[in-house]
Amino acid sequence: MKIIVPATSANLGPGFDSLGLSIGLFNEIQITREKLTSISIKGEGSDNLYIKKNNTFVNIFNEIYNSLTNERSNFKFSFLNNIPFSRGLGSSSSVIVAAIASAYKMAGFNIQKDRILNKSLIYENHPDNISPATYGGFTVNIVKNGEVFTKKSNIDSQIQAVVVIPNEPISTSQSRTQLQKNYPLSSCISNLSHSSFLSVCFFEKDYQSLRLAAIDKIHEDIRMSSYPILFKIRQVAYENGALMSTLSGSGSSFLNIVFRDDALRLQKKLQDNFPKFRVLLLEFDNEGFKITSKS
């Protein structure tokens, strides 16, 4: 079987730990039954021996598969990793979602995306990445009693993503330690109102209002201050047609949303200004993970 899982961008400015969307940059994993377990990796992590010896995907897959079947089997895992590690594009969540969905498929179960999502919450306790990796599109998420409740809107083809990927990674867990433990009421109200407004913009496809909606008062500038060039990325993006420019997850990548007609120009401007960084022009994804062949 082969499973394809998309990159994701979480928070989207004010929607801290609750809003996310799915981007058309995909990891692919092929799994076949074999007499001995083996792992091959192309792309991200291909030169990292630790990832081969202690592979998170394989560990979660085996744990779920064994719990479903009460048996141990051997598989060949072939990874094509396109989602960069520790850049705020949901690489960890893509691994978790794909591993669980694959285990259910290989164990002979029908794939129910809500089940996969809630199982993923055990390994990733914030739904803003695992939800769009599962369903695709733009998602609004809450968690109650260990269950994720999601509302989804497909993203229109009139907009595209221009993603700036710096060379420096940012650790999500480390960046969280920089955040305040308490926030003024005014900051909380600002984020509540802006994240609500942002959600309506996506559901109504009012992309012209995204810049107004994307203002954050809780986490973004604090995280960006450890890597000040990110402020310049946002400035250049807004000066050259971006509808929205936000830190992707905890960074270091920056997500820029732009009308299709302006996308190539924005990509070129960002690449010219930041020649040492990768600048990718990508579609949005409305499907989430896909299993493309039978076990």
Q: What residues form the annotated binding site for ATP?
A: 84-94
Q: Which two tokens stand for residue 236?
A: 């250049």
Distance CA 108, CA 43 (A): 29
- Of 245, 193, 265, which Cα lies nearest the Cα of 15? 193
By three-state DSSP, how is residue 76 classified? Answer: strand
By three-state DSSP, how is residue 11 classified? Answer: coil
Q: Binding site, residues?
A: 84-94
The residue ranges of DSSP E strands in 44-156, in sequence order, are 75-81, 138-144, 147-153
Distance CA 187, CA 211 (A): 18
- State which H helix or E strand residue 178 sits in: none
100 neighbors 60 (Cβ within 8 angstroms): yes
Distance CA 267, CA 273 (A): 10
Q: How is the beta sheet containing 244-247 ordered, strand by strand?
A: 244-247, 254-259, 159-165, 278-282
By three-state DSSP, how is residue 92 classified? Answer: helix
User: CB 292: neighbour CB atoms within 10 A?
Assistant: 10
First to last CA, the chain: 5
